[in-house]
Structure 1
Amino acid sequence: MPPGILTLADGLAEKATLSPANTGFMLICSAMVMLMTPGLAFFYGGMVRVKSVLNMLMMSFISLGIVTVLWVLYGFGLTFGTDAGGVIGWNGDFAGLGHIGLTQLWGTTTIPIYVFAVFQLMFAVITPALISGALADRVKFTAWALFVALWVTVVYFPVAHWVWADGGWLFKLGVIDFAGGTAVHINAGAAALGVLLVVGKRIGFKKDPMRPHSLPLVMLGAGLLWFGWFGFNAGSWLNNDDGVGAVAFVNTQVATAAAMLGWLAYEKLRHGSFTTLGAASGAVAGLVAITPACGAVSPLGALAVGAIAGVLCAMAVGLKYRFGYDDSLDVIGVHLVGGIVGSLLIGLFATGGVQSHAKGLFYGGGFGQLGKQAIGVVCVLLYSLVVSYVLAKAIDVVMGFRIGEDEEITGVDQAAHAETAYDFAGAGGGTAARRTTALGESPTKKVDA
């Protein structure tokens, strides 16, 4: 729920009525955001080596289970309940979602509380899943699951309250975050860095080739993310009555396209090739950067946000080799840097004519909004970084966060899940085919175990 929505909604009638159109629209947006988590799983899964594919998928999918349960039990109440000092909220009626009327509306909106709760749930689900890309190949699945439960409780729920709840201190300060530049992307990117400082590098980092095993899978995941992001951004206005959601939708498309082209242009100049991985990564960088800004800038502003983010994120992914941190799938380079870029550029490109009257420097607003955005960026980054490090360190001390060396070399899929993503032992080649041929049988004939 972006800053300014309550102010702009003050002109509505005191007794708002449920809108079937807005309710249906928000349910569709919620389903689209849910699809982003499996999309992220495919995006990350294609980028890892064969021996880690299933684990990468599961690190995203488990978030759907853990976060959903915690959100129902207490997460929604902590995030959007009655404010306590601008830091956290609570509402006993939200615990278990058991004391909410079927048609009870969310604030001054025209959608039921249940619809708002499930929409925000999908944001809570995907945020810790984003972190997983930095930890590919090397963490215990049980430790990861525990981290997800603890992290959403002490990091995501409070930060989302700061940014989106009407009593949150960053909301009241006037920080603009339309759909999650700080609460989702900077939060997840900073957390990834904090955990990396505990977990350490993969065996063979900067020595062994660690290329994506399936670029088609990466492109499929990026496409699903791009599709779902329209619900992520346009739905964050919570209605479809005044055109703001439409502007957010258009800006999402424009910035993503510009970022993809910006990343590819940098890649061509720097490395001499246009890669499919670069196209997918550039698109995601644009989606990340426009997330906080899509309700504050014009389409031309979105073009600038996307192009700048595409180039800067492409540059940032190489920093891990310079500074020696092993961010496996570039969560820091894309989500942390992209979130920072998009959040700060609001202070330059906000027009004051979309979601709120706040203007950026280039539209006569001075440095005021830029300063507010910087405060939001720095505070969320530091809080998430420090607390995530402490949580990861505690888990590491109690149960160990990282799998054993032999398990890492063999593959985390077998160690954690007793499965492999692909069966190469069947008909068509390999030892199984040679064995059946040696026995005088057809390679296509089933051999009894």
Structure 2
Amino acid sequence: MNDELQGEVTRGARALVVYPQMRTKGGQDAEARLEEAKGLAMAIGLVVAEAFAIPIREPRAGTLFGAGQVDNIAIACEQSEAELVVVDGSLSAIQQRNLEERLKRKVIDRTGLILEIFGERAATAEGRLQVELAHLDYQAGRLVRSWTHLERQRGGFGFLGGPGETQIEADRRMIRDRMARIRRELEQVRRTRGLHRDRREKAPWPVVALVGYTNAGKSTLFNRLTGAAVMAEDLLFATLDPTMRAVRLPGLEKAILSDTVGFISDLPTQLVAAFRATLEEVTAADLILHVRDIANPESEAQKRQVLDVLEELGVMGRTDGDEGGDPPIPIVEVWNKWDLLPPSRAAQLEEAMAARPEEIIVPVSALTGAGCDRLLEIVSARLTRDARLHTFVLPASDGQRIAFLHARGEVVSEQPAEEGAQGPQVRLQVRLSDRELGRFSAL
């Protein structure tokens, strides 16, 4: 490896972004993909000097691009004074190394770039463990970096520097050992999260999960609905760790709102696996709010990406006709950033909503608050839609079960009943869903 490739590249470094547009891949808009790649680069503080797509007819095993295309990239780097090349696609270790040698600059691919962002943003101990596992998994098969520096904790920009190619076998052994330790720690985290989830199911409140493509405005909506102060910036992957807060709902004492990591196309497989525990919060939700940036021209494509991931997580319910599967979790589509739409586009979308009466769609502006009250009403109605009236006679001292009925159902009446064997009793008439009735029975 050339000496000039050994130094760290820091925030403010100039980057050239290249999108290899495969001709066999139909339906992907190069301009939209480039905008997203530029957003990813800027999310870790890189300055995008230039960005362009290069059509690829047949990927080259050694460099991905053809020889003439590599020369054009090199010329663009010189002209734009770029210190780093970001390839918005997947590179093998050999391709990455060969491109670095040809271009005399550091090269990172889409997976490396997203991992860098996750490395910077993960805030909780669990998130950091998950990110580190993903980093190690990504690097395990690559010979272009050494990991003898694993004894020191590193933040972001791990792929933009590196100590060289020495002691590769020792590094691989260190990676395997470290990955095994992290998996054991994460297994403990999963068990702990499972216990927390079990407690939430017995306790008080339904869980509503916010999901959506990255930068769709989930955190801004979360802050608007809960009054919290979660990081909400115009950046890709502004939120990486799930945040949970209580939100008051009409007809319900409250619910728990969960803000989750944003989805993105071509999410590295290492991250899908590593963040499984985080995404399990979605699988335990009573209701999902799918937040869409409706002002984005790629909103429909982003929707498909999100639904594909939700289907992989199993939250869409069984579709193969087999018995015993969980029913699908209800989904409400939240069309965010409505305030950014021109009147003509808003009128078109209103017609589209009217043509899809079977779907629950709520236009909102998380920034201004428009539509948020109606959203809360719809969330409440959806959580209680199959509720039926039940009568319970409980000991007045049974605070846990009485509190559960108040929190999870709509208490229509509550009055003293005849004294029982355990002392004073109370009779409650409560509108309760079948799911909550089952939870109540298990208390």
Question: If the TM-score is normalised by the length of the shorter chain, which range does it land in?
Answer: under 0.3
TM-score, normalization by structure 1? 0.26
Q: If you compute each CA radius of gyration, which structure gives the higher value, 1 or 2?
A: 2
TM-score, normalization by structure 2? 0.27
- Higher normalized helix content (fraction of residues): 1
- Higher normalized strand content (fraction of residues): 2
Higher relative contact order (CA 8 A, sep 6+): 1
